[in-house]
């Protein structure tokens, strides 16, 4: 009977993965159409240039705010490349909270403690998701940044002004370079100065090497000089830094895999034992030492993950 239940669960997971893969294709096509339609609406709107620019910033969660903490949070969210939709975020948060509360109720029982644990787990899962999307986007931007600088160099050498060279990058390279440099070129076309436009580019991306490009262009606009030569050397420097970074990641790959295995092992063992013998942990669930032991285990796991993260993620 148990083998039949396992087979049914595997079939359900396979069907669920198939539905998820098909929905991803439909969602990506829908997002592409939405982006094109949004861009067309912005070009047709006869609004003031500053109003159109502020609307584009607000769509990327970069509206001007005075609170430094809120400003930092908005910049962090903008670096994910996601667009904030309140209703979708609300429904996703409620759904995650309910799912985690149901999962925690199996271990803690139905009650306010399970609801609190579900809320905390949902908030943590959302933060992990946003941080993962942000890191992947920044990594993809870092991979394409030397090519973008080379395109700017070629554009400047043939006589294009800097805004046109930035727009050329937006036309030639894929996401996320395309969107970010396109917005920067639009800001300059709307009448904004080059320095704040590049500062907004750095705020939207958050990649450290991009600061070199911003400083180089700002210094050239103030003091003059051969911008093409400066950016050409900067491109070689960034490629060398990226090569060193990849070499360090290759050397620390074994440590990262070990850290993941050690972190997941307690949960894998708990799930396996519960699947084989559901009543194994049920006998000690109501013992008074269970909750302090779980808190101690959770704190130890968090501290251990932080230590392993610092050991295998080296800055170059």
Per residue in 96-121, pLDDT (tens digit) is 888 888 877 776 677 777 788 888 88
**Whole-number percent of the chain with pLDDT over 70:** 83
pLDDT digits (tens, 9 = 90+) for 245-300: 888 888 888 888 888 888 888 888 888 887 787 777 777 777 778 788 888 888 88
- Does one domain contain both 149 and 180? yes
Name the average pLDDT for the chain. Answer: 79
Question: What pLDDT band is residue 125 in, cutting at 50, 70 and 90?
Answer: confident
The Cα 211–Cα 62 span in angstroms is: 18
Question: What pLDDT band is residue 46 in, cutting at 50, 70 and 90?
Answer: very low
- Does one domain contain both 300 and 202? no
- Does one domain contain both 231 and 297? no
Residue 121 lies in a domain: no
Predicted local confidence at residue 41, as pLDDT: 57
Residue 20 lies in a domain: no
**Final residue belonging to a domain, choices 212, 228, 245:** 245
Residue 46 lies in a domain: no
Helix axes 177-189, 194-205, angle to 10 degrees: 150
Residue 35's alpha-carbon distances to 106, 118, 134, in angstroms, are: 42, 34, 20
Has residue 47 got a pLDDT over 60?
no
Has residue 51 got a pLDDT over 80?
no
- Does one domain contain both 234 and 283? no
Residue 124 lies in a domain: no
Could you list the residue range(s) of the whole structural domain that residue 202 is in? 139-245
Element (H, E) at 98: helix 86-108
**Final residue belonging to a domain, choices 201, 222, 245:** 245
φ/ψ (deg, to 5) at 9 = -65, -40
Has residue 71 got a pLDDT over 70?
yes
Has residue 6 got a pLDDT over 70?
no
Predicted local confidence at residue 208, as pLDDT: 85
Window from 75-84, 155-164, 178-187, 239-248 with minimum mean pLDDT: 75-84
Mean pLDDT of 305-314: 78
Predicted local confidence at residue 9, as pLDDT: 67
The Cα 2–Cα 274 span in angstroms is: 13
Retrieve residue 66's tokens.
């005075």
Predicted local confidence at residue 242, as pLDDT: 86
Residue 23 lies in a domain: no
Mean pLDDT of 31-45: 60
- Does one domain contain both 188 and 170? yes
Window from 17-26, 50-59, 157-166, 191-200 with minimum mean pLDDT: 50-59
Mean pLDDT of 201-213: 87
Residue 17 lies in a domain: no
- Does one domain contain both 145 and 209? yes
- Does one domain contain both 309 and 222? no
Residue 58 lies in a domain: no
| Domain CATH number, residue 159 | 1.20.81
- Does one domain contain both 144 and 240? yes
Mean pLDDT of 89-96: 81
The Cα 35–Cα 38 span in angstroms is: 5
Domain count, the chain: 2
**Whole-number percent of the chain with pLDDT over 90:** 2
- Does one domain contain both 151 and 214? yes
Residue with tokens 């942990």: 281
- Does one domain contain both 165 and 237? yes
Residue 206 lies in a domain: yes
**Final residue belonging to a domain, choices 193, 224, 245:** 245
- Does one domain contain both 149 and 204? yes
Question: What pLDDT band is residue 89 in, cutting at 50, 70 and 90?
Answer: confident
Do the beta carbons of residue 144 and residue 223 sit within 8 Å? no
Map 161-229 to HEC letters. CHHHHHHHHHHHCCCCHHHHHHHHHHHHHCCCCHHHHHHHHHHHHCCCCHHHHHHHHHHHHHHCCCHHH
Residue 48's alpha-carbon distances to 44, 45, 53, in angstroms, are: 12, 9, 9
Window from 32-46, 64-78, 123-137 with minimum mean pLDDT: 32-46
Do the beta carbons of residue 312 and residue 252 sit within 8 Å? yes
Has residue 134 got a pLDDT over 50?
yes
The Cα 284–Cα 280 span in angstroms is: 8
Nearest to 176 by CA among 133, 129, 140: 140
- Does one domain contain both 211 and 273? no
Predicted local confidence at residue 36, as pLDDT: 65
The Cα 307–Cα 303 span in angstroms is: 6
Mean pLDDT of 123-139: 89
């Amino acid at each position: 009977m148990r083998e039949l239940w396992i087979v049914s669960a595997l079939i359900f997971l396979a069907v669920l993965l198939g539905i998820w893969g098909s929905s991803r294709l439909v969602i990506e096509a829908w997002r592409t159409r939405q982006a094109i339609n949004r861009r067309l609406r912005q070009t047709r709107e006869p609004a003031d240039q500053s109003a159109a620019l502020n609307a584009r910033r607000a769509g990327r969660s970069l509206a001007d705010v005075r609170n430094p903490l809120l400003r930092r949070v908005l910049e962090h969210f903008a670096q994910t490349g996601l667009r904030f939709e309140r209703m979708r975020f609300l429904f996703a948060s409620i759904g995650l909270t309910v799912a985690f509360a149901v999962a925690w109720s199996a271990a803690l029982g139905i009650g306010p403690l399970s609801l609190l644990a579900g809320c905390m787990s949902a908030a943590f899962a959302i933060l992990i998701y946003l941080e993962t999307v942000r890191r992947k986007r920044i990594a993809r931007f870092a991979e394409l940044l030397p090519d973008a600088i080379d395109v700017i160099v070629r554009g400047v050498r043939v006589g294009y002004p800097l805004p046109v060279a930035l727009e050329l990058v937006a036309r030639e390279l894929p996401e996320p370079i395309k969107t970010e440099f396109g917005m920067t070129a639009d800001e300059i076309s709307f009448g904004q100065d080059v320095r704040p436009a590049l500062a907004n580019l750095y705020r939207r991306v958050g990649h450290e090497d991009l600061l070199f490009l911003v400083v180089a262009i700002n210094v050239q606009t103030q003091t003059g000089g051969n911008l093409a030569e400066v950016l050409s050397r900067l491109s070689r420097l960034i490629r060398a830094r990226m090569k060193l970074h990849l070499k360090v990641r290759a050397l620390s790959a074994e440590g990262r895999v070990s850290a993941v295995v050690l972190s997941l092992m307690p949960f894998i063992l708990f799930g396996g034992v519960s699947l084989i013998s559901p009543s194994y942990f049920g006998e000690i669930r109501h013992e008074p030492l269970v909750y302090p032991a779980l808190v101690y285990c959770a704190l130890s796991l968090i501290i251990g993950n932080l230590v392993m993260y610092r050991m295998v993620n080296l800055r170059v």
